[in-house]
């Protein structure tokens, strides 16, 4: 295999640490496995119609130029998100005959494809023309098969994987001391964009409810980007002094917050996979999440605790159960170990490489 070109509309920088970090992690894992990987990515998270048009035009043109210059050395492209990234892979296939793989992450199927008939048709074309489709979870795979008529054999369920050399168990007491956190509070953690779809509002409501039922100190830490300032401002009445908002962190720092926490909470309204929940489990932190999307298969066999989405009351009840239950009883480590083995980054990387090789062989056989 000569070269893999990874195309993504999300990719992190030092200014935007969490913007598509999972794509960068996979690129790094592929390089560690010996592959020659090039990238053509958008690193600008700016929103708004004008910003979106400008940044995607720049990214699109640079991708096509890179494809033209390297058309003889690129064996396969791997697009992350069906639209818009997959459109660039499709163009490179049409122009230069380069086969492509596309990974659907959830939002591209759940939200983007529903924005307009045109985007849905483009999404269908990208899925149909790809050599193979990767879905990060089984619910998403089923949706792609049913809604877009993609044959089951063309879809593989492959998560983004967790790096268990980075996300490891640590001493909670030692990490709390390092982070200068008090040892007394029972500490809840959320990691993700502070947007409505992530269930942050219900989490804050549930936390305030919980405080009326518990005598011991509690703390809620929310790590993530607050780009949606209108939504963030709407949360102000629910924010108290025991709620802390933290800007996105480098993974080496983020892992410490997982280790310092008693429970990780992910109350998303929709979730293609839920990689942060897997990262929490890898640090030996119990997880409460909503029974949506990929979280159902990830946590449904006992690795975590699932609750109804958009329901602060039931979320608060599960958080209370977590406070009142010893960790050894609350966390099913046998189920957790099984999930971590399946989604270990090294195993995921091997599966991706096998899919690349299959796509290349299919092209060579034409």
Q: Which two tokens stand for residue 335?
A: 């189920």
The pLDDT assigned to 1 comes to 75
> Would you give the DSSP letter of residue 330?
H
CA dist., res. 138 & res. 297, Å (int): 7
Nearest in space to 170 (alpha carbons), one of 72, 88, 293, 280: 280
The superfamily (CATH) of domain 4-161+344-364 is Glycogen Phosphorylase B; (3.40.50.2000)
Cβ atoms of 88 and 40 within 8 Å: the answer is yes
What is the layout of strands, in order, in the sheet containing 76-80? 37-41, 4-8, 76-80, 100-104, 132-135, 155-157
At the topology level, CATH places domain 172-342 in Rossmann fold (3.40.50)
Q: What is the dihedral of CA 30, 36, 40, 43, to 10 degrees?
A: 50
Determine contact, residues 260/283, Cβ cutoff 8 Å.
no
User: Taking the C-alpha atoms of 221, 215, 170 and 305 in order, what is their torsion angle to the nearest 10 degrees?
Assistant: -80
Residue 2 and residue 76 in contact, taking contact as beta carbons nearer than 8 Å: no
Tokens 């709620």 belong to which residue?
243
How far is the C-alpha of 4 from the C-alpha of 356, rounded, in Å? Answer: 8
Query: CATH 3.40.50.2000 in the chain, residues?
Result: 4-161+344-364, 172-342
Number of residues that this document lists for the chain: 366
- Say how far apart CA 181 and CA 363 lie, in whole Å: 56
Distance CA 200, CA 224 (A): 11
In the chain, helix, strand, coil percent, each to 5?
A: 50, 15, 35
What's the CA angle centered on 294, arms 89 and 121, to 5 degrees? 35
pLDDT (0 to 100) of residue 366: 35
CA–CA separation, 68 vs 110, rounded Å? 32
Rounded CA-CA distance 267/291 in Å is: 9
pLDDT value at position 365?
Answer: 40
CA distances (Å), origin 249, targets 215, 236, 256, 365: 31, 23, 10, 46
What is the CB neighbour count within 10 angstroms for residue 240? Answer: 12
**Residue 37 tokens, joined:** 């990987």
Q: Can you give the pLDDT at residue 363? A: 61
pLDDT for 313 equals 98
pLDDT tens string for the chain (366 positions)?
789 999 999 999 999 999 999 999 999 999 999 999 999 999 999 888 999 999 999 999 999 999 999 999 999 999 999 999 999 999 999 999 999 999 999 999 989 999 999 999 999 999 999 999 999 999 899 999 999 999 999 999 999 999 999 999 999 999 999 999 999 999 999 999 999 999 999 999 999 999 999 999 999 999 999 989 999 999 999 999 999 999 999 999 999 999 999 999 999 999 989 999 999 999 999 999 999 989 999 999 999 999 999 999 999 999 999 999 999 999 999 999 999 999 999 999 999 999 999 999 876 543
Q: What residues contact residue 106 under an 8 Å CB cut-off, 6+ apart?
A: 136, 137, 140, 270, 271, 272, 273, 293, 294
């Amino acid at each position: 295999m000569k070269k893999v070109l990874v195309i993504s509309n999300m990719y992190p920088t030092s200014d935007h640490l969490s913007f598509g970090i999972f794509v960068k992690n996979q690129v790094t894992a592929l390089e560690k496995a010996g592959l020659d990987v090039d990238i053509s990515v958008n690193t600008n998270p700016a929103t708004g119609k004008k910003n979106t048009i400008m940044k995607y035009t720049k990214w699109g043109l640079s991708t096509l130029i890179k494809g033209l210059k390297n058309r003889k050395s690129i064996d396969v492209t791997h697009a992350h998100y069906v639209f818009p990234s997959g459109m660039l892979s499709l163009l490179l296939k049409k122009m230069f005959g380069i086969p492509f793989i596309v990974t659907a992450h959830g939002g591209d199927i759940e939200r983007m494809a529903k924005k307009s008939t045109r985007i849905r048709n483009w999404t269908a074309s990208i899925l149909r023309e790809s050599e193979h489709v990767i879905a990060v979870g089984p619910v998403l795979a089923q949706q792609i098969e049913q809604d877009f008529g993609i044959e089951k054999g063309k879809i593989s369920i492959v998560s983004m994987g967790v790096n268990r050399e980075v996300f490891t168990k640590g001493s909670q007491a030692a990490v709390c001391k390092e982070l200068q956190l008090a040892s007394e509070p029972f500490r809840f953690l959320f990691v993700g964009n502070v947007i409505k779809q992530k269930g942050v509002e219900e989490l804050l409501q549930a936390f305030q409810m919980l405080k009326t039922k518990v005598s011991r100190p509690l703390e809620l830490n929310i790590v993530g980007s607050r780009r949606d300032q209108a939504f963030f401002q709407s949360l102000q009445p629910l924010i108290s002094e025991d709620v802390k908002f933290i800007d996105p962190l480098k993974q080496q720092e983020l892992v410490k917050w997982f280790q310092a926490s008693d429970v990780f909470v992910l109350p998303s309204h929709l979730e293609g996979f839920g990689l942060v929940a897997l990262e929490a489990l890898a640090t030996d932190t119990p997880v409460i999440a909503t029974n949506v999307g990929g979280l159902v298969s990830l946590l449904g066999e006992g690795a975590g605790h699932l609750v109804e989405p958009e329901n602060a009351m039931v979320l608060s009840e599960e958080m209370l159960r977590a406070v009142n239950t010893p960790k050894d009883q609350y966390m099913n480590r046998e189920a957790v170990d099984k999930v971590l083995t399946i989604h270990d980054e090294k195993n995921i990387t091997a599966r991706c490489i096998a899919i690349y090789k299959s796509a290349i062989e299919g092209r060579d056989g034409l």
